[in-house]
Amino acid sequence: MKKLSFEDWKNSMSFMIDDAFDERFLGSTKSLTKFINSSCEQFQTKEGLALFLGKDSENFTAELKLKALVSLIGFSEERLKRVISLVRFKFLKEDFRSEWSIKKISKSIVANSKLLEFLVDFFIHGRKSIIGKEIPLYYLRNFKLLDAEFIQDLSEFNYVDRILNDNEIQGRYSNEVGAHVEKIISKRLDDYKRNINLKLEYDTQKEFPLLHKNIDFLIPKVGNPKILIESSYNITTGSGQSKRADQLVELYGVLMKYNANQRADKILMLNYCDGFGWVGRQNDLRRIYEASDFVFNQNNLDVLNKVLDEYY
Protein backbone atom coordinates (compact mmCIF):
# COMPACT_ATOMS: atom_id res chain seq x y z
CA MET A 1 0.00 0.00 0.00
CA LYS A 2 1.06 3.59 -0.54
CA LYS A 3 2.03 5.87 2.33
CA LEU A 4 0.00 9.07 2.71
CA SER A 5 1.81 12.07 1.30
CA PHE A 6 3.15 14.52 3.85
CA GLU A 7 0.82 17.25 2.55
CA ASP A 8 -2.25 15.01 2.83
CA TRP A 9 -1.26 14.00 6.36
CA LYS A 10 -0.54 17.57 7.43
CA ASN A 11 -3.76 18.89 5.89
CA SER A 12 -5.82 16.24 7.70
CA MET A 13 -4.72 17.44 11.16
CA SER A 14 -7.67 18.55 13.27
CA PHE A 15 -9.01 19.06 16.74
CA MET A 16 -10.19 15.86 18.36
CA ILE A 17 -13.94 15.95 17.81
CA ASP A 18 -15.81 13.69 20.20
CA ASP A 19 -18.76 15.40 21.86
CA ALA A 20 -19.36 12.51 24.27
CA PHE A 21 -15.77 12.78 25.52
CA ASP A 22 -16.02 16.55 25.91
CA GLU A 23 -19.30 16.26 27.82
CA ARG A 24 -17.71 13.74 30.19
CA PHE A 25 -14.73 16.04 30.71
CA LEU A 26 -16.91 19.07 31.35
CA GLY A 27 -19.05 17.04 33.74
CA SER A 28 -16.07 15.80 35.72
CA THR A 29 -16.25 18.84 38.02
CA LYS A 30 -19.94 18.45 38.83
CA SER A 31 -19.62 16.69 42.18
CA LEU A 32 -16.70 18.88 43.29
CA THR A 33 -18.64 21.99 42.34
CA LYS A 34 -21.61 20.92 44.45
CA PHE A 35 -19.25 20.18 47.34
CA ILE A 36 -17.78 23.70 47.09
CA ASN A 37 -21.28 25.17 46.92
CA SER A 38 -22.26 23.46 50.16
CA SER A 39 -18.94 24.13 51.94
CA CYS A 40 -18.14 27.72 50.99
CA GLU A 41 -19.60 29.39 54.08
CA GLN A 42 -16.96 27.71 56.24
CA PHE A 43 -14.20 29.43 54.21
CA GLN A 44 -14.68 32.66 56.19
CA THR A 45 -13.32 31.28 59.48
CA LYS A 46 -9.89 29.90 60.26
CA GLU A 47 -11.41 26.83 61.84
CA GLY A 48 -13.69 26.15 58.89
CA LEU A 49 -11.05 26.66 56.21
CA ALA A 50 -8.52 24.59 58.17
CA LEU A 51 -11.06 21.77 58.34
CA PHE A 52 -11.60 22.03 54.58
CA LEU A 53 -7.88 22.03 53.66
CA GLY A 54 -6.49 19.95 56.50
CA LYS A 55 -7.80 16.52 55.65
CA ASP A 56 -9.31 14.35 52.95
CA SER A 57 -13.08 14.30 52.65
CA GLU A 58 -15.16 11.28 51.80
CA ASN A 59 -14.96 11.88 48.04
CA PHE A 60 -12.24 14.50 47.66
CA THR A 61 -8.58 14.54 48.59
CA ALA A 62 -7.05 17.44 50.49
CA GLU A 63 -4.87 18.07 47.45
CA LEU A 64 -7.86 18.46 45.12
CA LYS A 65 -9.58 20.80 47.57
CA LEU A 66 -6.42 22.92 47.81
CA LYS A 67 -6.21 23.16 44.01
CA ALA A 68 -9.88 24.14 43.84
CA LEU A 69 -9.57 26.86 46.48
CA VAL A 70 -6.47 28.33 44.83
CA SER A 71 -8.39 28.59 41.56
CA LEU A 72 -11.49 30.06 43.17
CA ILE A 73 -9.57 32.92 44.80
CA GLY A 74 -7.80 33.78 41.55
CA PHE A 75 -4.38 32.61 42.63
CA SER A 76 -2.34 29.96 40.79
CA GLU A 77 -0.54 26.77 41.71
CA GLU A 78 2.78 28.26 40.60
CA ARG A 79 2.32 31.29 42.83
CA LEU A 80 1.35 29.02 45.71
CA LYS A 81 4.63 27.15 45.30
CA ARG A 82 6.51 30.46 45.64
CA VAL A 83 4.49 31.38 48.71
CA ILE A 84 5.25 28.07 50.40
CA SER A 85 8.93 28.49 49.60
CA LEU A 86 8.75 31.92 51.24
CA VAL A 87 7.14 30.44 54.35
CA ARG A 88 9.63 27.60 54.56
CA PHE A 89 12.60 29.96 54.12
CA LYS A 90 11.54 33.03 56.10
CA PHE A 91 9.17 31.77 58.77
CA LEU A 92 10.01 28.11 59.29
CA LYS A 93 13.76 28.68 58.81
CA GLU A 94 14.18 25.64 56.59
CA ASP A 95 17.30 25.06 54.51
CA PHE A 96 16.17 23.60 51.19
CA ARG A 97 17.19 23.39 47.54
CA SER A 98 13.94 22.67 45.73
CA GLU A 99 10.31 23.71 45.79
CA TRP A 100 7.47 21.45 46.79
CA SER A 101 4.90 20.16 44.34
CA ILE A 102 1.23 20.86 45.06
CA LYS A 103 0.89 17.26 46.23
CA LYS A 104 3.76 17.75 48.68
CA ILE A 105 2.33 21.08 49.86
CA SER A 106 -1.03 19.48 50.57
CA LYS A 107 0.52 16.57 52.45
CA SER A 108 2.61 18.99 54.47
CA ILE A 109 -0.25 21.21 55.55
CA VAL A 110 -2.23 18.12 56.53
CA ALA A 111 0.68 16.95 58.69
CA ASN A 112 1.95 20.31 59.93
CA SER A 113 -0.60 22.42 61.84
CA LYS A 114 1.75 25.42 61.89
CA LEU A 115 2.04 25.49 58.11
CA LEU A 116 -1.72 25.01 57.79
CA GLU A 117 -2.27 27.96 60.15
CA PHE A 118 0.03 30.19 58.07
CA LEU A 119 -1.75 29.27 54.85
CA VAL A 120 -5.30 29.60 56.18
CA ASP A 121 -4.50 33.05 57.59
CA PHE A 122 -3.07 34.02 54.20
CA PHE A 123 -6.08 32.83 52.21
CA ILE A 124 -8.58 34.58 54.47
CA HIS A 125 -6.83 37.84 55.29
CA GLY A 126 -4.63 38.37 52.23
CA ARG A 127 -2.39 41.44 52.67
CA LYS A 128 -3.30 41.69 56.36
CA SER A 129 -1.87 38.22 57.08
CA ILE A 130 1.70 37.49 58.14
CA ILE A 131 2.50 36.04 54.72
CA GLY A 132 0.50 38.66 52.84
CA LYS A 133 2.80 41.46 53.95
CA GLU A 134 5.47 39.84 51.78
CA ILE A 135 3.28 39.35 48.68
CA PRO A 136 2.55 41.92 45.92
CA LEU A 137 -0.95 43.33 46.20
CA TYR A 138 -1.55 42.47 42.54
CA TYR A 139 -1.48 38.76 43.37
CA LEU A 140 -4.03 39.22 46.14
CA ARG A 141 -6.64 41.20 44.25
CA ASN A 142 -9.19 38.35 44.30
CA PHE A 143 -8.68 37.23 47.89
CA LYS A 144 -12.31 37.86 48.94
CA LEU A 145 -13.21 35.11 51.39
CA LEU A 146 -14.47 37.73 53.88
CA ASP A 147 -16.71 39.28 51.22
CA ALA A 148 -20.31 38.09 51.62
CA GLU A 149 -21.03 38.63 47.91
CA PHE A 150 -18.07 36.44 46.95
CA ILE A 151 -19.26 33.65 49.23
CA GLN A 152 -22.67 33.98 47.60
CA ASP A 153 -20.97 33.55 44.22
CA LEU A 154 -19.30 30.38 45.52
CA SER A 155 -22.69 28.97 46.43
CA GLU A 156 -23.76 29.20 42.77
CA PHE A 157 -23.14 26.10 40.67
CA ASN A 158 -22.46 27.79 37.32
CA TYR A 159 -19.98 30.28 38.79
CA VAL A 160 -17.86 27.62 40.48
CA ASP A 161 -18.16 25.08 37.68
CA ARG A 162 -16.89 27.59 35.11
CA ILE A 163 -13.81 28.43 37.20
CA LEU A 164 -12.97 24.80 37.93
CA ASN A 165 -13.33 23.85 34.27
CA ASP A 166 -11.36 26.87 33.05
CA ASN A 167 -8.51 25.88 35.37
CA GLU A 168 -8.81 22.19 34.43
CA ILE A 169 -8.92 21.11 38.07
CA GLN A 170 -9.70 17.50 37.22
CA GLY A 171 -6.83 17.19 34.76
CA ARG A 172 -5.49 19.00 31.73
CA TYR A 173 -7.76 18.72 28.71
CA SER A 174 -4.80 18.20 26.38
CA ASN A 175 -3.52 15.30 28.49
CA GLU A 176 -6.96 13.73 28.64
CA VAL A 177 -7.31 14.06 24.88
CA GLY A 178 -3.94 12.35 24.42
CA ALA A 179 -5.14 9.41 26.48
CA HIS A 180 -8.43 9.38 24.56
CA VAL A 181 -6.57 9.18 21.25
CA GLU A 182 -5.08 5.88 22.41
CA LYS A 183 -8.61 4.67 23.13
CA ILE A 184 -9.60 5.63 19.57
CA ILE A 185 -6.79 3.47 18.21
CA SER A 186 -7.68 0.62 20.58
CA LYS A 187 -11.30 0.77 19.45
CA ARG A 188 -10.22 0.66 15.81
CA LEU A 189 -8.12 -2.43 16.50
CA ASP A 190 -10.95 -4.06 18.44
CA ASP A 191 -13.40 -3.34 15.61
CA TYR A 192 -10.97 -4.85 13.12
CA LYS A 193 -10.65 -7.97 15.23
CA ARG A 194 -14.40 -8.32 15.67
CA ASN A 195 -15.35 -7.62 12.06
CA ILE A 196 -12.39 -8.69 9.94
CA ASN A 197 -9.78 -10.86 11.68
CA LEU A 198 -10.58 -12.65 14.93
CA LYS A 199 -6.93 -13.63 15.28
CA LEU A 200 -5.71 -10.07 15.73
CA GLU A 201 -3.80 -9.52 18.96
CA TYR A 202 -1.98 -6.50 20.37
CA ASP A 203 -0.14 -5.34 23.46
CA THR A 204 -0.25 -1.77 24.82
CA GLN A 205 2.34 0.25 26.71
CA LYS A 206 4.95 -2.48 26.87
CA GLU A 207 8.71 -1.98 26.77
CA PHE A 208 10.15 -3.27 23.52
CA PRO A 209 13.69 -4.47 24.33
CA LEU A 210 15.07 -3.66 20.88
CA LEU A 211 14.22 0.04 21.32
CA HIS A 212 14.50 0.21 25.13
CA LYS A 213 11.22 2.11 25.24
CA ASN A 214 7.57 1.64 26.05
CA ILE A 215 5.62 1.49 22.80
CA ASP A 216 1.97 2.52 22.66
CA PHE A 217 0.83 -0.47 20.57
CA LEU A 218 2.67 -3.64 19.56
CA ILE A 219 0.99 -6.03 17.13
CA PRO A 220 0.64 -8.90 17.83
CA LYS A 221 2.92 -9.21 20.89
CA VAL A 222 5.82 -7.42 22.53
CA GLY A 223 7.94 -10.56 22.13
CA ASN A 224 7.62 -10.71 18.35
CA PRO A 225 5.96 -7.59 16.93
CA LYS A 226 5.22 -7.01 13.28
CA ILE A 227 3.77 -3.54 13.68
CA LEU A 228 4.53 -0.75 16.17
CA ILE A 229 2.23 2.24 16.66
CA GLU A 230 3.13 5.46 18.46
CA SER A 231 0.56 8.23 19.00
CA SER A 232 0.78 11.93 19.76
CA TYR A 233 -1.81 14.70 19.99
CA ASN A 234 -0.88 18.37 20.40
CA ILE A 235 -3.26 21.28 20.78
CA THR A 236 -0.47 23.81 21.32
CA THR A 237 3.12 24.02 20.14
CA GLY A 238 6.24 23.61 22.24
CA SER A 239 9.80 22.35 22.44
CA GLY A 240 8.47 18.98 23.56
CA GLN A 241 7.48 18.32 19.96
CA SER A 242 11.09 18.62 18.83
CA LYS A 243 12.11 16.18 21.55
CA ARG A 244 9.36 13.84 20.41
CA ALA A 245 10.62 14.04 16.83
CA ASP A 246 14.22 13.44 18.00
CA GLN A 247 13.11 10.33 19.87
CA LEU A 248 11.11 8.89 16.97
CA VAL A 249 13.92 9.54 14.49
CA GLU A 250 16.32 7.70 16.77
CA LEU A 251 13.93 4.77 17.22
CA TYR A 252 13.35 4.49 13.50
CA GLY A 253 17.10 4.42 12.89
CA VAL A 254 17.46 1.44 15.22
CA LEU A 255 14.49 -0.23 13.56
CA MET A 256 15.92 0.25 10.06
CA LYS A 257 19.18 -1.40 11.10
CA TYR A 258 17.26 -4.32 12.55
CA ASN A 259 15.10 -4.66 9.43
CA ALA A 260 18.17 -4.63 7.18
CA ASN A 261 19.46 -7.71 8.99
CA GLN A 262 16.11 -9.40 9.57
CA ARG A 263 14.33 -9.06 6.27
CA ALA A 264 11.99 -11.96 6.96
CA ASP A 265 10.88 -10.43 10.27
CA LYS A 266 10.57 -6.79 9.26
CA ILE A 267 8.87 -4.51 11.78
CA LEU A 268 6.77 -1.59 10.58
CA MET A 269 6.52 1.75 12.38
CA LEU A 270 3.20 3.61 12.23
CA ASN A 271 2.89 7.10 13.67
CA TYR A 272 -0.40 8.71 14.65
CA CYS A 273 -0.09 12.50 14.98
CA ASP A 274 -3.01 14.88 15.25
CA GLY A 275 -3.98 18.31 16.53
CA PHE A 276 -3.28 21.75 15.10
CA GLY A 277 -0.23 22.02 17.34
CA TRP A 278 1.52 19.81 14.82
CA VAL A 279 0.60 22.11 11.93
CA GLY A 280 2.48 24.82 13.80
CA ARG A 281 5.61 22.62 14.02
CA GLN A 282 5.83 21.36 10.47
CA ASN A 283 9.58 20.80 10.53
CA ASP A 284 9.17 18.40 13.46
CA LEU A 285 6.13 16.82 11.84
CA ARG A 286 8.07 16.19 8.63
CA ARG A 287 10.86 14.53 10.60
CA ILE A 288 8.30 12.20 12.17
CA TYR A 289 6.84 11.55 8.73
CA GLU A 290 10.24 10.51 7.42
CA ALA A 291 10.75 8.29 10.49
CA SER A 292 7.58 6.31 9.73
CA ASP A 293 6.60 3.55 7.36
CA PHE A 294 3.01 4.78 7.48
CA VAL A 295 1.21 7.74 9.09
CA PHE A 296 -2.39 8.38 10.07
CA ASN A 297 -4.69 10.33 12.39
CA GLN A 298 -8.36 10.64 13.31
CA ASN A 299 -9.36 11.64 9.78
CA ASN A 300 -7.69 8.68 8.07
CA LEU A 301 -8.01 5.75 10.45
CA ASP A 302 -8.63 3.56 7.40
CA VAL A 303 -4.83 3.58 6.95
CA LEU A 304 -4.60 1.30 9.99
CA ASN A 305 -7.06 -1.15 8.46
CA LYS A 306 -5.14 -1.21 5.19
CA VAL A 307 -1.83 -1.84 6.97
CA LEU A 308 -3.38 -4.72 8.91
CA ASP A 309 -4.90 -6.12 5.72
CA GLU A 310 -1.55 -6.15 3.96
CA TYR A 311 0.99 -6.86 6.69
CA TYR A 312 -0.69 -8.76 9.51
Q: What is the pLDDT of residue 42?
A: 95
pLDDT range class, residue 266, cuts 50, 70, 90: very high
Cα gap 184→12, rounded to integer Å: 16
Q: What is the pLDDT of residue 40?
A: 96
Q: What is the pLDDT of residue 170?
A: 55
- Please tell me the chain's helix, strand, coil percentages from 3-state DSSP, rounded to the nearest 5: 60, 10, 30
Average pLDDT value for residue range 85-108:
92
Q: Is residue 22's pLDDT more than 90?
A: no
CB 180 within 8 A of CB 21: yes
Average pLDDT value for residue range 17-26:
81
Residue 272 phi, psi (nearest 5): -100, 115
Summarize pLDDT for 104-146 with one digit per residue, the tens.
999 999 999 999 999 999 999 999 999 999 999 999 999 999 9
Q: What is the pLDDT of residue 286?
A: 96
Lowest model confidence (mean pLDDT) among 95-99, 192-196, 279-283: 95-99
Q: What is the pLDDT of residue 93?
A: 87
Average pLDDT value for residue range 172-192:
87
CB 55 within 8 A of CB 62: yes
Structural domains in the chain? 6-18+173-311 (3.40.1350), 29-166 (no CATH)
pLDDT range class, residue 16, cuts 50, 70, 90: confident
